[in-house]
Structure 1
């Protein structure tokens, strides 16, 4: 057994307990794959990350991202939270942007005041889902077909399908049938007027150990690519997520040139050491 620096954060919120929690083990180069997976199962959070030395001179650090069930090549709130932990522990970027090495390759991050933002990775699948999948989605969300404004594959690694509904109230009232949705990863979005955000988002991940993710960076990244690219959203907006779970996540989206930046605040809730 060995002792490691450890942080538990709340991501996409500047207020503790209102975002999406993340566990980060720093200096984890000595841990095996099995030890990482076991620790991630033990934390029982949606993701746990392990900070490692980079394998390329282009990167400032490397991260491995684990759910309670598997390793992910990329995820959004672990990217922002791990970068926050690295900077808080004294990490110094080599250039104007921070470069994270992870399973999908190199991901750029930038600092925007008190927030961090990552450049959305390219989609690996887009286009309309087939009619059979849309029927399953409608049945699984327990809604009428006319409630659906649009659907789209927005997969940047986890397998997201986006579903746009007509209004925020419909999104917040959803009580899905997870058996019907088994195997699907859904991002549900609707416009919101009159609040401090322009869209309300929910992420349903049936079969991944937790039914709904509080605030989801990878989903908001791919949603932004679809919404902005199709003219459904402006080049800069704020998404609200986690409302139905008693959270207050805020995701800041901005298109700059060809890049879509996905940003948010992080706050450290636990800072200490862990024995693995």
Structure 2
């Protein structure tokens, strides 16, 4: 007899349905072996599918395990975690009003603040790891080729790998139109990312659509089988950390990064960097629910 496994679809960093970054979420997944989690992630074929399980650490409230369609487990606190806490709040699994919790992701336990107000969507703010600034992409011509761009499309500043939980190569280009023209060659980009010690690639410009935003970006991650992601918290965090370190964004300011417009999934990710604290904030909504019959 087939068993039913409940699931939900959450649009993260979204103001209305069918925008933002969709996340497939499977709650109460303790009885699912890893191989079954990976198969479910392939079935949904979202950039990430998150499974809520009991924590292994006494200081954590929930443990999150997230997998890409190729079965790679990812450990950053981005839309994969944001969507889980939005669901927990909307499903009544959390206390009312504002509360602080702890999420276990990989080897880390990171704080999460969930604010619930009557008549409004729940807002989630969660800390990422302290920023780590890594290697730069030395071969600019190879980088441009991998992105389907000309050498002159790259900005003067170097592309650098920065991590707040996941190593991503931040690539500044000369304009929003250049970001939209990116046409990735996955094989070439994989070589560039390996040389730079990075997992994914965040291409951005400093001329966003909204004047109050700080950047306009697209994210590509052939390392874990993501062709393009519409909203990537694990990349927006490093980007704002790098802009604060360069003096381009004020420390402590709520900086908005625009992403997903090229995919028809407009998303706005809010990041605040104060010292080594990188805090990602956002909201979203549950757009679907059902059962897997396994």
Same fold, judged at TM 0.5 (above): yes
Q: What's the counterpart of residue 91 of structure 1?
A: 93
Which of 128, 137, 143 lines up with 1:137 in the alignment?
143
Aligned counterparts of 1:102 and 1:191: Cα–Cα separation in 2? 31
Aligned counterparts of 2:272 and 2:223: Cα–Cα separation in 1? 32
Which of 211, 214, 219 lines up with 1:198 in the alignment?
214
Q: Which runs of 5+ in 2 are unaligned?
A: 194-199
Which string of whole-angstrom CA distances, capped at 9 and with x for unpartnered residues, describes residues 161-180 of structure 1? Answer: 11112322221222233332
1:174-189 aligned within 5 A: 174-183=182-191, 184=193, 185-189=200-204
Q: Shift in Å at residue 98 of structure 1?
A: 1.9
Q: Shift in Å at residue 221 of structure 1?
A: 1.1
What secondary structure sits across from 1:149 in the alignment? coil
Q: Shift in Å at residue 84 of structure 1?
A: 0.9
Q: What's the counterpart of residue 46 of structure 1?
A: 47
When residues 61 and 127 of structure 1 are mapped into structure 2, their CA distance, relative to the original with a 3 A threshold, is: closer
Which of 163, 172, 180 lines up with 1:172 in the alignment?
180
Aligned counterparts of 1:154 and 1:257: Cα–Cα separation in 2? 15
**Does the alignment pair 1:107 with 2:110?**
yes
**Structure 1 length normalisation: TM-score?**
0.90
1:210-225 aligned within 5 A: 210-225=226-241
1:13-92 aligned within 5 A: 13-69=14-70, 70-92=72-94
**Does the alignment pair 1:121 with 2:91?**
no
When residues 27 and 112 of structure 1 are mapped into structure 2, their CA distance, relative to the original with a 3 A threshold, is: closer
Which string of whole-angstrom CA distances, capped at 9 and with x for unpartnered residues, describes residues 100-152 of structure 1? Answer: 111141121123564212112134x52342523x3321221212246323221
Q: Is the 8 A contact 2:42 2:69 kept in 1?
A: yes
Q: What's the counterpart of residue 252 of structure 1?
A: 270
Aligned counterparts of 2:215 and 2:129: Cα–Cα separation in 1? 21
Q: Shift in Å at residue 199 of structure 1?
A: 1.1
Q: What's the counterpart of residue 263 of structure 1?
A: 281
What secondary structure sits across from 1:154 in the alignment? strand
Moved over 4 A (4+): none
When residues 62 and 38 of structure 1 are mapped into structure 2, their CA distance, relative to the original with a 3 A threshold, is: same
**Structure 2 length normalisation: TM-score?**
0.85
Q: Which runs of 5+ in 1 are unaligned?
A: none
Q: Shift in Å at residue 256 of structure 1?
A: 4.4
Q: Shift in Å at residue 28 of structure 1?
A: 0.6
What secondary structure sits across from 1:106 in the alignment? strand
